[in-house]
C-alpha cells in the first residue's frame, strides 16, 4: 500500500481508504462488515472513513468494534458531523452545540480518545462559519481532533474556511467530494482552490456506486443482490443507470484489459492520477472486493490511456462545477 500526504499537512494516509457508508450497520451484516475491515487491514489500508449519520450511528459502532485491539497510532480514523442524528432541532447542522455533542458520541462509538480527521459533512448556511470553525478549533486544542476537513463544499466555501483556519491556527487539510471518471465536477473550481490553500481531496464513490465495475448491463435488470437492487443504495444511482452511460462503461473493458487491471481497479487508479487526490475511499460488502480494489494503489496510467478513457465516455461525463452544491437549509 502506498501512502500520500493529506493536502499539504504532514499526515500520511493510505492511497486507498476504507469507508462504510451504506454498508455497515444497514446493507451488510455485522460479521461480513468485520471481515471486510480485517481484509482492509491485511492489505495495508490504514485510513478508515465513517460518519455519525451512516446507518443512524450504527456504522461508527461497527467500525469501532472492527478496529478494537488495533494499534491506534497506526490508524487514521475519520468521521463527520452535520446530518441529523436525533429528533431535536439542534441534533443537526454545524452549531457549536451540535459539533461538541456529536464528537463525544462519535468518540464513544468508535472506542477512541480522538479522531485523526473531523469533517463538516456539508456546509451549513444557518450557522456563521466563524462559529463552526471556532468549535472545530476548540476540539483540536482539546486533543479530541487532530485535523479538520469538509465534505462537498464549494471552492468559495473552502477558501473562506481556510482563511479562518489560518487565523485560528488549526490544520484545515481536506475536502471529501464525489469524484470518478463519470463525475468530475470538482476539477474546474474545487481542485484549484484546494491546491491554493493546501487542502487535499479524499474522494468518495470512485467506482460510481459500482457502475464502473461493468457489472450493470444496458437493457438488463441489475444483478440480484447488487447495490442497484438495495432500496437505500439505489437512490444514489438513478442518474448512472441509463443505457447511454452503461453502454459507454462497457467500452472501458478493453482499456482495463490492456493495462492488466479489473474495471474497478481502473476506476480507482484513474482518480489517483489527480495530484490533488490524497486518498480514494472504497466500500465493500465482501472481503474479496477490498482485495481487488487495493491493487489500484501505486498504478500509473499514461496519457494515452487517460485520453482513451475520455474518448470512450464522451458527453456522459458530468463536469459542471455548479453540481457541487451544499444544502440551502439544514435537513
Which residues have a catalytic role annotated?
A: 54
- Reference 118, options 268, 43, 208, 6; nearest CA is 6
Task: Report the 3 state secondary structure along 138-171.
Answer: HHHHCCCEEEEEECCCCHHHHHHHHHHHHHHCCC
Q: How far is CA 293 from CA 165, 177, 206, 210, in A?
A: 34, 19, 10, 12
Q: Are 133 and 168 in contact (CB under 8 A)?
A: yes
H/E element, 115 = strand 115-120
For the four alpha carbons of 246, 49, 75 and 187, in that order, the dihedral sign comes to: positive
Q: Which residues pair with 120 in a beta bridge?
A: 81, 150
H/E element, 23 = none
Task: Outline where DSSP puts E strands in 212-292.
Answer: 277-282
H/E element, 136 = helix 129-141
Measured distance CA(96)–CA(133) in Å, rounded: 9
Q: Which residues pair with 49 in a beta bridge?
A: 19, 78
Amino acid at each position: 500500500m502506498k501512502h500520500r500526504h493529506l493536502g499539504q499537512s504532514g499526515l500520511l494516509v493510505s492511497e486507498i481508504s476504507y469507508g462504510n457508508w451504506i454498508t455497515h450497520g444497514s446493507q451488510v451484516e455485522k460479521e461480513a462488515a468485520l471481515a471486510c475491515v480485517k481484509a482492509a487491514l491485511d492489505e495495508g489500508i490504514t485510513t478508515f472513513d465513517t460518519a455519525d449519520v451512516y446507518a443512524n450511528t450504527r456504522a461508527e459502532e461497527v467500525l469501532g468494534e472492527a478496529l478494537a485491539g488495533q494499534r491506534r497510532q497506526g490508524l487514521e480514523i475519520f468521521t463527520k458531523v452535520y446530518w441529523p442524528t436525533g429528533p431535536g432541532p439542534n441534533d443537526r447542522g454545524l452549531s457549536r452545540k451540535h459539533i461538541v455533542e456529536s464528537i463525544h458520541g462519535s468518540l464513544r462509538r468508535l472506542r477512541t480518545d480522538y479522531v485523526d480527521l473531523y469533517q463538516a459533512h456539508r456546509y451549513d448556511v444557518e450557522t456563521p462559519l466563524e462559529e463552526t470553525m471556532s468549535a472545530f478549533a476548540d476540539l483540536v486544542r482539546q486533543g479530541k481532533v487532530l485535523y479538520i476537513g469538509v465534505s462537498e463544499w464549494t471552492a468559495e466555501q473552502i477558501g473562506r474556511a481556510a482563511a479562518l483556519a489560518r487565523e485560528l491556527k488549526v490544520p484545515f487539510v481536506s475536502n471529501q467530494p464525489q469524484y470518478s471518471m463519470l463525475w468530475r465536477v470538482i476539477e474546474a473550481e474545487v481542485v484549484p482552490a484546494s491546491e491554493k490553500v493546501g487542502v487535499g481531496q479524499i474522494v468518495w464513490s470512485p467506482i460510481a456506486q459500482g457502475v464502473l465495475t461493468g457489472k450493470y448491463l444496458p437493457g438488463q435488470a441489475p444483478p440480484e443482490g447488487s447495490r442497484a437492487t438495495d432500496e437505500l443504495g439505489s437512490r444514489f444511482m438513478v442518474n448512472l443507470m441509463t443505457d447511454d452511460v452503461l453502454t459507454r462503461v462497457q467500452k472501458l473493458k478493453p482499456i482495463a484489459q490492456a493495462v492488466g487491471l479489473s474495471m474497478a481497479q481502473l476506476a480507482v487508479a484513474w482518480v489517483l492520477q489527480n495530484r490533488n487526490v490524497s486518498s480514494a475511499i472504497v466500500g465493500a460488502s465482501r472481503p474479496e472486493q477490498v482485495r481487488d480494489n487495493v491493487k489500484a494503489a501505486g498504478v500509473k496510467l499514461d496519457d494515452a490511456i487517460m485520453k482513451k478513457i475520455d474518448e470512450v465516455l464522451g458527453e456522459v461525463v458530468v463536469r459542471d462545477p455548479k453540481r457541487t452544491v451544499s444544502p440551502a437549509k439544514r435537513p
